[in-house]
Structure 1
Amino acid sequence: MTDRFSFALNATDGRARTGAIQTPRGEVRTPAFMPVGTAATVKAMLPESVRQTGADILLGNTYHLMLRPGAERIARLGGLHQFMNWQRPILTDSGGFQVMSLAGLRKLTEEGVTFSSHVDGSKHFLSPETSMEIQRLLGSDIVMAFDECPALPAAEEDVAKSMRLSMRWAQRSRDAFGDRPGHALFGIMQGGVTRELREESAEALKAIGFEGYAIGGLAVGEGQEAMLGVLDYAPGLLPEDRPRYLMGVGKPDDIVGAVQRGIDMMDCVLPSRSGRTGQAWTRRGQVNIKNARHADDPRPLDEACSCPACTGYSRAYLHHVFRSGEMISGMLLTWHNLHYYQELMAGLREAIAAQRLDDFVAEFHAMREGGDIPPL
């Protein structure tokens, strides 16, 4: 066990990297996928079940937790780890993205953002300083700088103005974070899909200095081609000896493309949200368990998967409980999806270490192109 935060690269294959982040609460193997525990829970999962899927770290949400139950209350109850019974590392986002996407009326100034809660309409204020304080009260291991994330597409001058505001906020986040041994602060690169703006943002962040660096402002409507276009150069603008985190991504093929381009960490609500809506992610692509073709199918979702949904239940059963609105449907499909995502990450780490990433990626795409098993 370490009392510090550190990152070590173990192997590379092309631009892809595998390594480990060390924190006082344990190791995070990279590339890592972080399940999202928005409101101090990964929906439909027990924390120990999330760990069984292979997750080393979870993501918690500053915006949601400050509104309900409140950061002060969580601090009084022993911090977020104790509150949600997850003793391993937690990363908290800064709240900036949710203020953009969820909050009601919002007013943006140099100082911060005043917004109306989507829960009850109450007025709140978030700034770099308040975001750092809330994340300190939560006790997260990795804290994200407070930024503004514009929705794409947007005019380049608006993206530039927003990015420069985020860079000033990054400095204020660094100042407010202070000296917290064992905890890390990550800066967030912005700049939309414009290379010059991304370069300017990266230089500003490196001048401030962070324990890790995120690439923000992607997966917000620009499409996969544009996102991967940015990832062709953006990770290389950031320090090689620090973790690189792509925020809010994504689908399995997005993850594979991002890892090929040098990304170390990702998060997304997709595996858990899909599980609750009857969508399963498998090696053969997506399976929609709602479809009538599964009603009489005694086979598992994926015969090669060792999760409880695949080892204990048939497609017919999963179809039935989804159609019946039974709670176990979301539980089993979420477990399966998180298991599949973690299996994919383990496969990527092994392939990078063995210098056979190209083969792994070719097999990944070939399997998916084959599609789901034929109906009976």
Structure 2
Amino acid sequence: MTEISYQINATDGRARTGVINTPRGEIRTPAFMPVGTAATVKAMMPESVRQTGADILLGNTYHLMLRPTAERVDRLGGLHKFMNWDRPILTDSGGFQVMSLASLRKLTERGVTFKSHIDGSKHEITPERSMEIQKLLGSDIVMCFDECPALPADRDRIASSMELSMRWAKRSKDAFGDRPGHALFGIQQGGLEEDLRQQSADALRDIGFGGYAIGGLAVGEGQEAMFGCLDYAPEQLPQDKPRYLMGVGKPDDIVGAVARGIDMMDCVLPSRSGRTGQVFTRKGVLNIKNARHMDDPRPLDEDCGCPACQNYSRAYLHHVFRSQEMISSMLLTWHNLHYYQDLMAGMRDAITAGTFEAWQRDFHANRAQGDIDPL
């Protein structure tokens, strides 16, 4: 079976474009991964997600282990078959959701015990169990089990958490074993402390992984602090492996991350925003529930090729959103995911052409214009 490999095709400054080769197809980088938390990208059919330009989806270990359970997904042929997505899937480790969603959790060297947010049942995730769950799901890219402390936190707390995560990374690698055609990614921690990030990167490099994630950002520290960390963190990781920034983000976060050497990102923002009426366009963000759209026959974005923009007016999209019709979530989510994939394609083309700096200037200038004037 083909091993998962990464090739860089072009660089422009610190930005890179390339391909992650997997047995289930190529992932063009920089890549944005739509989030399919419970084996579905909400309000989208898998074939529609593919039509937006997505090469890979993210599935959520914590949610799937609780419902329908990893064992059931395995019996039914694995996550790809279960959710009718035949391309690559990355699964997170469950660590972040345990910290943010579960109640009455208890953290020890062994792992985390917690009560389900669904029915209060008691569970344990250890590095070994996280690897087992992700193997049962059958994901192509597997994430190490780590602890993600909420920022702000004091330096001692961040340091001890990072050291625990590095011990768990070693256990994750040992439990992952030899799985041709699948890759295990390590996760760098260390908060906003450059020396702790370096220690974490050195530990991960010693263990050796198929790719490296930057964890513990986009947890409330703000864009300036996040970019400050990304000014050094990607460079601490191996150059020849994919670098994945977890949980990011807004369009300008993504552009700034790619400019600093990031290859992969994921975020619930485009799909969640679609369900709440927030729309991303080349000219910034608009809110479809505003009355200004009520009589507007124009599309959301005249330069967008998605079905919402090609076939429906702002007036219609305003009406179905206000009427709480399901088609509203479907069309607005499709549009937002299409916008995000267009953004990634634009960056890949600009990096290849060596015009990424000019592309960034245009991107920011267009967004600064704001939405088109009301009629």
Query: Structure 1-normalised TM-score?
Result: 0.99
- Structure 2 residue aligned with 1:288: 287
- Structure 1 residue aligned with 2:44: 45
- Structure 1 residue aligned with 2:93: 94
Displacement of 1:200: 0.4
Matches within 5 A, 1:211-226: 211-226=210-225
Displacement of 1:256: 0.1
- Structure 2 residue aligned with 1:312: 311
1:260 matched to 2:259? The reply is yes
Displacement of 1:125: 0.1
Displacement of 1:369: 0.4
- Name the CA distance, whole Å, in 2 between partners of 1:302 and 1:154: 41
- Name the CA distance, whole Å, in 1 between partners of 2:274 and 2:100: 22
- Structure 2 residue aligned with 1:236: 235
- Structure 1 residue aligned with 2:154: 155
RMSD: 0.5
Matches within 5 A, 1:120-159: 120-159=119-158
Identical counterparts, % of pairs: 78
How many corresponding residue pairs? Answer: 375
- Structure 2 residue aligned with 1:79: 78
Question: Could you list the per-position Cα deviations for residues 242-301 of structure 1 after superposition, in whole angstroms to 9, with x for gaps in the alignment?
Answer: 000000000000000000000000000000000000010010110100100000000000
Displacement of 1:3: 1.6
- Structure 1 residue aligned with 2:187: 188
Structure 1 counterpart SS, 2:98: helix
Structure 2 counterpart SS, 1:325: coil
- Structure 2 residue aligned with 1:110: 109
- Structure 1 residue aligned with 2:296: 297
> Where do 5+ consecutive residues of structure 2 fail to align?
none
Query: Structure 2-normalised TM-score?
Result: 1.00
- Structure 1 residue aligned with 2:274: 275
- Name the CA distance, whole Å, in 2 between partners of 1:159 and 1:282: 37
Question: Could you list the per-position Cα deviations for residues 29-86 of structure 1 after superposition, in whole angstroms to 9, with x for gaps in the alignment?
Answer: 0000000000000000000000000000000000000000000000000000000000
> Where do 5+ consecutive residues of structure 1 fail to align?
none
- Structure 2 residue aligned with 1:199: 198
- Name the CA distance, whole Å, in 2 between partners of 1:162 and 1:58: 28
Amino acid at match of 1:67: L
Question: Could you list the per-position Cα deviations for residues 107-162 of structure 1 after superposition, in whole angstroms to 9, with x for gaps in the alignment?
Answer: 00000000000000100000000000000000000000000000101111000000
Displacement of 1:342: 0.1
- Name the CA distance, whole Å, in 2 between partners of 1:60 and 1:109: 26
- Name the CA distance, whole Å, in 1 between partners of 2:220 and 2:251: 17
- Structure 2 residue aligned with 1:245: 244
- Structure 1 residue aligned with 2:165: 166
Displacement of 1:4: 1.4
- Name the CA distance, whole Å, in 2 between partners of 1:327 and 1:111: 44
